[in-house]
Amino acid sequence: MDPGLSWEAHVSHVVKKCNAILFSLNRIRHYFTSEALEIIVQAYVFPHVTYCLCVWGGTAKGQLHKIQKVINFAARVITGTRKFDHITPSLNSLGWPTIEAMVRHRDALKAFKALRDESSPSEIRALFVPRSAVSTRTTRATDRGSLQLQKYDLTGTQRAFAYRAAVVWNNLPAAALEAPTLSVFKNIVRKL
């Protein structure tokens, strides 16, 4: 962890490791089908990207952009898209979300587990306070099951996991908030 809590060293290490894998794979991609390449990328690259995504997912936009470039490079390797061609059609054909969407999805899952799973750590559960526990009035937020947002003046502190996940939770549709199981919740969130 660096002194500025920017996760720059961690993100740079992840980018370097993933790019080394992708450069090697790019040299031999002609020997594989695109389905095999996608399996290889999902097995060797995406675990590095998604590991601790909840923790460092709130880093600066520049750091997230570096990770997005790795995802774009992986899509180019699989689809054979050239360097200066637009990458969005390739990402859509693979069904891959952007890094921001991955962070939101992971934050929503962690918030669901913290709110619904009794076995989750009490420290994590304490990060999420329902609006109904704070307000005595009946409002749309309390009826809906929204979470209380702490007041932060700095945008850096608003990128913290607890605030980010509460914002994502409050922006979910009512069907997701009322999902009875984790699998139902995942299906609803995946379609967003």
The predicted-structure confidence for 171-182, as pLDDT tens digits, reads as follows 999 888 888 999
Angle at 102 between CA 56 and CA 161, to 5 degrees: 40
Q: Is residue 1 part of a domain?
A: no
The total number of structural domains that make up the chain: 2
- 163 within 8 A of 157, measured Cβ to Cβ: yes
Across the range 143-157, mean pLDDT stands at 78
146 and 80 housed in the same domain: no
Q: Is the pLDDT of residue 141 over 80?
A: no
What letter would DSSP give residue 124? Answer: H
Q: How confident is the model at residue 17 (pLDDT cuts 50, 70, 90)?
A: very high
Of the residues 76, 96, 116, the one at which a domain ends:
96
pLDDT one-digit tens code per residue, 32-78: 999 999 999 999 999 999 988 878 888 888 889 999 999 999 999 99
- 46 within 8 A of 77, measured Cβ to Cβ: no
- 123 within 8 A of 104, measured Cβ to Cβ: no
Q: Is residue 56 part of a domain?
A: yes
How much is the mean pLDDT over the chain?
Answer: 88
pTM, two decimal places: 0.83
Which long-range CB contacts under 8 A does 64-67 form with residues at least 24 apart? 64/99, 64/100, 64/103, 66/11, 66/12, 66/15, 67/11, 67/14, 67/15, 67/99
Q: Is residue 48 part of a domain?
A: yes
pLDDT one-digit tens code per residue, 112-132: 999 888 888 888 888 888 888
Q: What's the pLDDT at 3? A: 64
CA 183 to chain centre: 17
Domain residue limits at 43: 8-96
Give the list of residues 6+ apart from residue 41 with CB closer than 8 angstroms, or none. Answer: 22, 25, 74, 77, 78
- 79 within 8 A of 32, measured Cβ to Cβ: no
Residues above pLDDT 90, as percent of the chain: 48
Of the residues 53, 79, 96, the one at which a domain ends:
96
Q: What are the beta bridge partners of residue 130?
A: 147
Q: Is residue 2 part of a domain?
A: no
51 and 86 housed in the same domain: yes
Q: Is residue 176 part of a domain?
A: yes
Q: Is residue 3 part of a domain?
A: no
